[in-house]
Amino acid sequence: MPVELIDLQMDVGIGTTQASAQAAYQRVSEHLRAQGDGIAWVGISQTASSDNGLPLARAIHVALPDLPIILGGYFASAAYRRLLQDYPFLTGIVRGDGETAALEISRRLATGQPFPSQQIPGLAWLEGDRICTTPSKKAADALGPLDFGSLRNVGLYQLAYLMTSRGCPFRCNYCLENYMRSYTEYPPAIVGRQLDHLSATLHTDKILIVDPVFGLGRGRTLELCQLMRGRGFTYALESRVDVLAPDLIPILREAGVEHIYWGVESASAGTLMRMNKVRSQAEADRYVKRALEVLKACFQNEITAQVGIMLGFPGDTEEDHEASLRFVQQMESLYNQIGGQTGVHAGYAVDVHGTLVFDGSPLAEQLASAYPHSSLSVNSRGERLVQSPSPGLGLSELRHHCQAVRSHERRTSVAVERISRYVCDPLILFIAKHAVSIDAQGIVTLGENQI
């Protein structure tokens, strides 16, 4: 069964207003309706929220009311119960990895078998008033490289994406990664083939490695560095300070890595334990010490570090936030010291943010019993913002602490350039560098091969 891949923003355009966004959804639905009975089903991937997926699904359902529509991704996997109950035009939701489920859905529809079905792994659907689910299944280990040649406007992409592993073996209670999938590594040979394919297919020299945590296993990490080196690519990746050893940082730099996002999240032992990142004060002390060691290695080797700090975690107090403030002050002092000694000024950023509680996360399930005094915003698209982690610590105090922590970052010109390459929306970069047009419906179109 042939597959058509549609990237809404690249292949249709960007709706800059609610009306133009709706026009983009309508354009997709008309494109699908024009194909008549040639379409068996539609799958919509939801990486983060419902901003595009649900209104797009609604527009498709209006145009093709009998066409099965399946939602997938992090947001849908976590909030599947509420989505199925609130949006009856959804035929089902695939929870977790979708490849195996997609193949089975296609096979069943192609052969006229019943759908939805208990035979489809990871599927959730509404049957009357009852939500039915099937167990998730690990994606096939033999999956080959992703075919970026299937993209309609392959020449427009400013950033390539590479996955060397899926899932995460850690159990941070605010995260949805374990809800999605178990940790699985791609064989290095597959990673090498994917790099060959990216080099031959895409018109970019920048790769974002999208592993939730890169660098598990020293031997494998060294093998991946060997594969990455000498291809003309530069890379950005995300890891943990207790995963990548400091002596691997110069090897990563030689392989082309220029930006690393470190999800430190806190320097408070109490907060780290509540997050389930560490189990004891001793582990927390080692964690913070190791964080400074890997950051020092980044500063010495001209890698731009971006450090994630989460404030307002349920149960947080002033003392917890002060611990994180002291940490970034130490980081700043270390950076200045190394810069003075070496003349290397790749800069670093502090990504300080509030705490979002996602439906389906272990933290969401613990809130009522473990943190009865925490106050959260109204549920919006399956997530809530902690507005007061503990009595006496409200939004104004959280904003003040965020500003204080952020004031110790060092966004040099090198840091700004690198962060814009990998972290900022590549579409924004494309629009800034290229001539784009706005059609009669107010949709920003990025290329010629548009739907």
Q: What is the Rg, in whole angstroms, of the alpha carbon atoms belonging to the chain?
A: 23
Six-digit token string for 322:
């002060």
Residue that the structure tokens 């470190």 belong to: 262
Question: Strand, helix or coil at 102?
Answer: helix
Contact 418, 257 (CB under 8 A): no
Pick from 113, 140, 167: which residue ends a domain? Answer: 140
User: Which is nearest to 398 in space by CA: 386, 408, 410, 407?
Assistant: 386
To the nearest 10 degrees (0 to 180), the angle between helices 218-228 and 188-201 is 20
Burial track 182-194 (b if 16+ CB lie within 10 A, e otherwise): ebebbeeebbbeb
End residue of a domain, out of 140, 167, 183: 140
In a domain, 168, yes or no: yes
Q: To which H or E segment does residue 72 belong? A: strand 69-72
Are 88 and 187 contained in the same domain?
no
**Residue type at position 185:** E
Full residue range of the structural domain in which residue 197 is found: 148-411
| Any domain includes 90 | yes
The answer as to whether 29 is a domain residue is: no
Same domain, 289 and 395: yes
Q: Domain check: are 175 and 93 in the same one?
A: no
Query: What CATH number did the domain enclosing 121 receive?
Result: 3.40.50
For the stretch 30-35, contacts whose Cβ atoms lie closer than 8 Å and that sit 24 or more positions apart, written own/partner, are 30/63, 31/6, 31/451, 32/60, 32/63, 32/64, 32/67, 33/63, 33/64
- Please check whether residues 165 and 207 belong to one and the same domain: yes
Residue 223: C-alpha distances to residues 167, 191, 254, 258, 314 (Å): 20, 10, 13, 18, 40
Is the domain of 79 the same as that of 170?
no
pLDDT for 425 equals 58
- Same structural domain, 231 and 130: no
Q: What tens digit of pLDDT does each residue of 301-355 get?
A: 999 999 999 999 999 999 999 999 999 999 999 999 999 999 999 999 999 999 9
Q: What are phi and psi of 356, to 5 degrees?
A: -100, 135
Which one-letter amino acid corresponds to residue 300? Q
Confidence of residue 441 (pLDDT cuts 50, 70, 90): confident
Residue 262 domain-assigned (yes or no): yes
| Dihedral (CA of 407, 408, 409, 410) sign | positive
What is the distance of C-alpha 362 from the center of its chain? Answer: 18
Angle at 417 between CA 415 and CA 421, to 5 degrees: 115
234-278: pLDDT as tens digits: 999 999 999 999 999 999 999 999 999 999 999 999 999 999 999
- Does some domain include residue 4? no
Residues 117 and 204 in one domain: no
Are both 275 and 179 inside the same structural domain?
yes
Q: Are residues 108 and 125 in the same domain?
A: yes
In this predicted structure, what is the pLDDT of residue 444? 74
Domain count, the chain: 2
Beta bridge partners of 206: 234
Both 90 and 213 in a single domain? Answer: no
pLDDT at 68 over 90: yes
Q: Is residue 221 part of a domain?
A: yes
**Is the same domain home to 92 and 212?**
no
- Confirm whether 217 is domain-assigned: yes
- Contact call for residues 54 and 85 (beta carbons, < 8 A): no
Q: d(Cα 425, Cα 404) in Å, to the nearest integer?
A: 26
316 vs 398: CA distance, rounded Å: 10
Stated pTM of the model: 0.92
Token pair for residue 57?
């699904």
* 119 and 60 share one domain: yes
pLDDT digits (tens, 9 = 90+) for 383-438: 899 999 999 999 999 999 999 999 999 999 999 999 988 986 555 666 666 556 77
Residue 92: what pLDDT? 98
CATH number of the domain enclosing 204: 3.80.30.20
Q: Is residue 451 part of a domain?
A: no
